[in-house]
Chain A
Amino acid sequence: MPQVKIPVDLIMTKMAQDAERIQSRAKNASEVLLDNLDTDLAKTPFEVVYQEDRVKLKHYIPKTKTKYKTPLLVVYALINRETMLDLQPGRSVVERFLESGIDLYMIDWGYPTRKDRFQGFDDHINGYMDNVVEFIRHRHKVDKVNLMGICMGGTFSVIYSALHPDKIKNLVTTVTPTNFDTKKGLLHVWMENLDVDRVVDTYGNLPADMMNYGFLLLNPARLMIDKYVGFMENVDNKKFVENFVRMEKWIFDSPDLPGEVFRKFIKDCYQGNRLIKNSLMVGGERVDLKKLTMPLLNIYGKYDHLVPPEACELLTRSVGSKDTEDLCLKTGHIGIYVSSKFQEAFAPKIAGWLKERDGKRRKKRAAKALIKKAVIVPSEKEGKKKVTAKRTTKKSAGRTAGISKTTSG
Chain B
Amino acid sequence: MNNKKEDPSGMESLVDTWMKSMGEFWTGMASTWAGAPTGNPESHAKDSGIGNKAQETMASALKNWQIISAAMAEPESMASLFKGAGVMPEILSQMAQSSMGSLMEMQKKMVERVGRMGDTVEAYRFEGIEENLFGVWSDIYDKEFRQFFQIPQLGLLRTYQEKTNQVVDKYNQFQYQLSEFLSLLGLPFNRSIKVMQDKLAEMAEEGELPNDANVYYQMWIKILEGHFMTLFQTPEYVQALAKTVNALSDLSGAKDSFFEDLLNSLPVAKKSDMDDMAREIYELKKRIRLLEKNQKRS
Contact = CB atoms under 8 A, between A and B. Distances in A.
Q: Among the interface residues B217, B246, B279, which one has the most CB atoms of the partner chain A within 10 A?
A: B246
B275 interface: yes
A194 to B, nearest CB: 6
B238 A190 contact: yes
Contacts of B239: 193
A6 B249 CA distance: 53
A115 B278 contact: yes
Interface stretch (B11-19, B106-114, B148-156, B201-209): B201-209
A38 interface: no
B204 A4 contact: yes
B224 interface: yes
B253 interface: yes
A180 to B, nearest CB: 16
A380 B297 contact: yes
Interface string B235-274: 0001101100110011011001000000000000001001
A220 B213 contact: no
B221 A226 contact: yes
A221 B228 contact: yes
B95 interface: no
B256 A119 contact: no
Given A5-B207, A5-B209, A195 B242 contact: yes
B225 A189 contact: no
B278 A117 contact: yes
Given A118-B279, A219-B228, A195 B245 contact: yes
Contacts of B209: 5-7, 11
Contacts of A409: none
25 contacts: A2-B205, A4-B204, A5-B207, A11-B211, A13-B211, A14-B212, A15-B213, A18-B213, A114-B271, A115-B278, A115-B282, A118-B282, A186-B233, A190-B241, A193-B239, A193-B241, A198-B249, A199-B249, A202-B252, A202-B253, A210-B245, A225-B224, A380-B297, A383-B297, A383-B298
B53 interface: no
Contacts of B296: 387
B45 interface: no
What are the 5 A-B residue pairs with the smallest beta carbon separation, nearest first?
A: A5-B207, A10-B211, A221-B225, A115-B278, A193-B242
A7 B212 CA distance: 11
Given A7-B209, A15-B213, A203 B252 contact: yes
B245 to A, nearest CB: 7
A43 interface: no
A244 B249 CA distance: 33
Interface string A386-397: 010000000000
Contacts of B275: 114, 117, 204
A249 interface: no
A259 B243 CA distance: 20
A189 B233 CA distance: 7
B160 interface: no
B289 interface: yes
B185 interface: yes
Interface of B: 185, 188, 204-205, 207, 209, 211-213, 217, 221, 224-225, 228-229, 232-233, 238-239, 241-242, 245-246, 249-250, 252-253, 256, 271, 274-275, 278-279, 281-282, 286, 289, 293, 296-298
Interface string A287-299: 0000000000000
Interface in A78-120: 114-119
A127 interface: yes
Give the size range of A's interface with the partner: 35 or more
A90 to B, nearest CB: 29
A317 interface: no
A387 B253 contact: no
Contacts of A198: 246, 249-250
Nearest to A11: B211
A220 B232 CA distance: 11
A199 to B, nearest CB: 5
A186 B238 CA distance: 10
A194 B242 contact: yes
A5 B204 contact: yes
Interface string A357-396: 0000000000000000000000010011001000000000
A127 B249 contact: no
Interface in A179-230: 183, 186, 189-190, 192-195, 198-199, 201-204, 210, 217-222, 225-226, 229
B238 A115 contact: no
A229 B296 CA distance: 60
Nearest to B234: A189
A114 to B, nearest CB: 6
Given A202-B256, A226-B221, A194 B204 contact: no
A392 B212 CA distance: 69
A7 B289 CA distance: 76
A199 B221 CA distance: 33
A339 B188 CA distance: 30
A363 B212 CA distance: 66
A118 B278 CA distance: 8
Nearest to B296: A387
Contact of A222 (B225, B282, B293): B225
Given A6-B204, A14-B211, A194 B245 contact: yes
Nearest to B289: A127
Interface string A165-189: 0000000000000000001001001
B185 A220 contact: yes
Contacts of A210: 245
B175 to A, nearest CB: 17
